[in-house]
Copies of this chain bind each other. A is one copy, B any other.
Amino acid sequence: MARKKLDEIRPEQGDDAAARRTPMREFSRSLPMSLLRAREAVMRQFRPSLRNHGLTEQQWRILRALTAVDEIEVTELARVAFLLGPSLSRILRDLEGRALIERKAAENDARRAVVSISAKGLKLIEAVAPTSEAIYAEITRRYGARKLAELHEMLGVLEASLAGMGSAEDAEVEADE
């Protein structure tokens, strides 16, 4: 159901050029693309506000996660804020430099670092939150609360469905370890 449209789009020249090519799904039906587009549509709403407060999306995620706990280890924070270690390291360095967070070594393990939000950080959060919540409310209003919950549910199931799917290495690259 995907291929036929191409002739319509490119009627005249090499009308069979595309037809000879590897058959694949239409681009718009790609799941990663759909998720990307949807996420971008949502984030586009939040970015200006965050930017006005000197925060990036990821910095906001971290501060927000820190607001929910008293303190947290870096590794756990990475898991909660869904950031990779290297990204988190850089951002924490920056946030600490801006005095929005505090960092100290864990008591019983010198390798671990424990992070917490500072008073200044809390203040920033409180300044951003109203706008952020208003935007979220508007999104909910437009899309529908029920539908939003349903979407959350479906996304969660998708994630769970793929959890055990060990990254299928390419056949030509030999077996796994």
Contacts and interface: CB of A to CB of B under 8 A. Distances in A.
A125 B35 CA distance: 23
A125 B22 contact: yes
A38 to B, nearest CB: 4
A172 interface: yes
A65 to B, nearest CB: 6
A154 B157 contact: no
A122 interface: yes
29 contacts: A6-B119, A10-B70, A10-B116, A10-B119, A21-B67, A21-B125, A22-B125, A22-B126, A24-B64, A25-B136, A26-B68, A27-B61, A27-B64, A27-B80, A34-B156, A38-B158, A38-B159, A41-B162, A42-B162, A45-B165, A48-B167, A52-B169, A52-B173, A131-B170, A139-B161, A139-B165, A142-B165, A143-B162, A151-B158
A36 B155 CA distance: 10
Interface residues of A, number: 92
Contacts of A82: 33, 36-37, 40
Given A6-B68, A169-B52, A39 B35 contact: yes
Contacts of A131: 168, 170-171
A94 interface: no
A155 B22 CA distance: 27
